[in-house]
Copies of this chain bind each other. A is one copy, B any other.
Amino acid sequence: MTEPAKAEPPFSASTGLEAEDPWLERVRDHIRTLPESGIVEVMNYGRDRPGMIPLWAGEGDVPTPPFICEAAAAALHAGETFYTWQRGLPELRAAIARYMTRLYGVKEDPERYFVTGSGMQAIHIAIAMAVTSGDEVIIPSPTWPNAAAAAQKAGARAVYVPFNYGPGGFTLDHDRLAAAVTPRTRAIFLNTPANPTGFVATREDLKAVLALARRHGLWIIADEIYGRFYYGDTPRAPSFHDVMEEDDHILFVQTFSKNWAMTGWRIGWIEASPKLGQIIENLIQYSTSGVAAFMQRGAVAALDLGEGFVAEQIARARRGRDLVGDALLATGKVDLVKPPGAFYLFFGIEGRKDVRSLGLTLVDEANVGLAPGTAFGNGGEGFMRLCFARGDAQLAEASRRLVAWLKGHGAA
């Protein structure tokens, strides 16, 4: 377990975009070779199939609840269609601060929160501050690919450190993590609860990562967006908020997408020291110049009025996890540990190692859309990802189809 982590390129899959064309040749190398999302590939393959049950993306099947849509529509009709604060509406920053204080018991300080045009943009901004050409970001893997791609876009390199995997599921390998630090390392990106593995860092994990970051002067980019989708005994997963000091260099990235069924809105926030405020404002200004004020009114409604909705979503995900997880386990043909957090099953199917083609096969033969583990970097080979943040009836039908397919074809 102390074998040094190999520094892998972020993705094994090639985009096929070689520089044989004068158009492509002229594009900067690190941009031309950005990977195509391995999730989008199977989505585009299966998107239009009649009756398809799409469990490939990280989103539920519930549209944004009306009280959120109505707040946004009202602001739109009231003419909130002008340029606005680059850091976000003061009302939204205050609402985020109240929410974070309720959830994490932190000091209520709106100056710590900056509204972004998606959680993805929050990551993009955090990465831009932390790394540049030649730098390295450590990311436990398998993982959602976009953080590694954002590092590549900034000219840096993701260094994947594989989770350990065993009967207890995915766990962090602290020795390997420590061994992956080089003089070029600038940041550790930690997603907990994690997509796609369902890994949840313990308080001890978080302390150890924080100690490592302190020792080497690294940023921590903390992606805790699934913090409430936690199936343990507490209302949320452990957080860096529980173990950090005020002057620890942690950048939290957040999104409205998952808790409030707002995936399509593209709105999130970044939490950081107010000392970084002007830099974050500049990065927003020079990438998208802010988030629509009318959308921000919807986000205020989500935070202030959305607790009932969030509780329902979490209860539903917990049921979905058991429903699909137990059905697949009963076939005896899957390698699956029910995850303690997030809303994905990440599992292997007996005899099926080529999961990229398996994703397409399952579209054709089971009419269920799963994402191949190869879309999630080093360590994802051999796994499929299934999103269970959906309604009971649909998940029951998806389970039925998958179980039938496994019984008929599972062991190829």
Residues of chain A whose beta carbon lies under 8 Å from any beta carbon of chain B: 15, 17, 21-24, 26-28, 30-32, 34-37, 40, 57, 59, 63-64, 66, 69, 72-73, 76-77, 79-84, 86, 117-118, 120-121, 124, 128-133, 135, 146, 149-150, 153, 155, 217, 219, 247, 249, 261-266, 273, 275-276, 278-279, 281-283, 285-295
B121 contacts A279, CB within 8 Å? Answer: no
Point out the residues of chain B lying under 8 angstroms from A17, CB to CB. Answer: 278-279
A69 contacts B80, CB within 8 Å? Answer: no
Point out the residues of chain B lying under 8 angstroms from A132, CB to CB. Answer: 28, 30-31, 133, 155
A130 contacts B28, CB within 8 Å? Answer: yes
Point out the residues of chain B lying under 8 angstroms from A35, CB to CB. Answer: 282
B31 contacts A264, CB within 8 Å? Answer: no
How far is B28's CA from A155's CA once the two chains are assembled, in angstroms? 12
Point out the residues of chain B lying under 8 angstroms from A293, CB to CB. Answer: 264
With A76-B72, A81-B261, A153-B128 as known contacts, state yes or no: A21 contacts B286, CB within 8 Å. Answer: no
Task: Choose among B26, B30, B118, B290 the residue that contacts A289 (Cβ–Cβ < 8 A).
Answer: B118
With A77-B69, A153-B128 as known contacts, state yes or no: A120 contacts B264, CB within 8 Å. Answer: no
In the complex, which residue of chain B has the Cβ closest to the Cβ of A187? B26
Point out the residues of chain B lying under 8 angstroms from A249, CB to CB. Answer: 22-23, 26
Point out the residues of chain B lying under 8 angstroms from A21, CB to CB. Answer: 275
In the complex, which residue of chain B has the Cβ closest to the Cβ of A79? B63
A128 contacts B31, CB within 8 Å? Answer: yes
How far is B76's CA from A262's CA once the two chains are assembled, in angstroms? 11
With A132-B155, A283-B34, A287-B287 as known contacts, state yes or no: A59 contacts B82, CB within 8 Å. Answer: yes
A294 contacts B264, CB within 8 Å? Answer: yes
In the complex, which residue of chain B has the Cβ closest to the Cβ of A26? B249
In the complex, which residue of chain B has the Cβ closest to the Cβ of A123? B286
B86 contacts A40, CB within 8 Å? Answer: yes
A120 contacts B288, CB within 8 Å? Answer: yes
How far is B261's CA from A80's CA once the two chains are assembled, in angstroms? 11
Could you pull out 28 A-B pairs where Cβ atoms are within 8 angstroms?
A21-B275, A27-B130, A31-B132, A32-B279, A34-B282, A57-B83, A59-B83, A63-B79, A64-B79, A64-B81, A69-B76, A69-B81, A72-B76, A81-B261, A81-B264, A81-B265, A83-B263, A120-B287, A120-B289, A132-B155, A133-B133, A146-B285, A150-B286, A264-B290, A264-B292, A265-B292, A266-B289, A292-B295
Additional 19 contacts, C-beta under 8 A, given A128-B153, A149-B285: A17-B278, A23-B249, A23-B273, A27-B276, A27-B279, A28-B131, A34-B279, A36-B281, A36-B282, A40-B285, A59-B83, A81-B264, A82-B263, A83-B264, A118-B288, A132-B133, A132-B155, A146-B286, A146-B289
How far is B247's CA from A24's CA once the two chains are assembled, in angstroms? 12
With A82-B264, A283-B31 as known contacts, state yes or no: A276 contacts B149, CB within 8 Å. Answer: no
Point out the residues of chain B lying under 8 angstroms from A129, CB to CB. Answer: 27-28, 31
In the complex, which residue of chain B has the Cβ closest to the Cβ of A35? B282
Point out the residues of chain B lying under 8 angstroms from A261, CB to CB. Answer: 81
